[in-house]
Amino acid sequence: MTMRKFSYNEIVTLNPLQTGYQMMSSRALIPLYAAANDGIYRVNRAKRVGGFVAVSGVTIGIIVLAFIAVVGIYIVFLTLSLSLPTSFSYPIDWIPTLIGTLIGAGLVAGSVFGIIKLVKIGKRFGKIANELEGELVVSWSLVKTIVVTNVRQEYVADRTSLLLNIIGPPIYKEIGDWHVLTIDGRDITIPNVDDPHNKLNYVKNRFNLNFS
Q: pLDDT per residue over 149-204, tens digit each?
A: 999 987 766 555 555 555 656 677 899 999 999 999 999 999 999 999 999 999 99
Written as one letter, the residue type at 138 is: V
pTM of the model: 0.59
| CB 212, CB 180: distance < 8 Å | no
Q: Read off the pLDDT of each residue in 81-96 and give the average, rounded to a whole number.
A: 63
Of 61, 58, 65, the C-alpha closest to 124 is 58
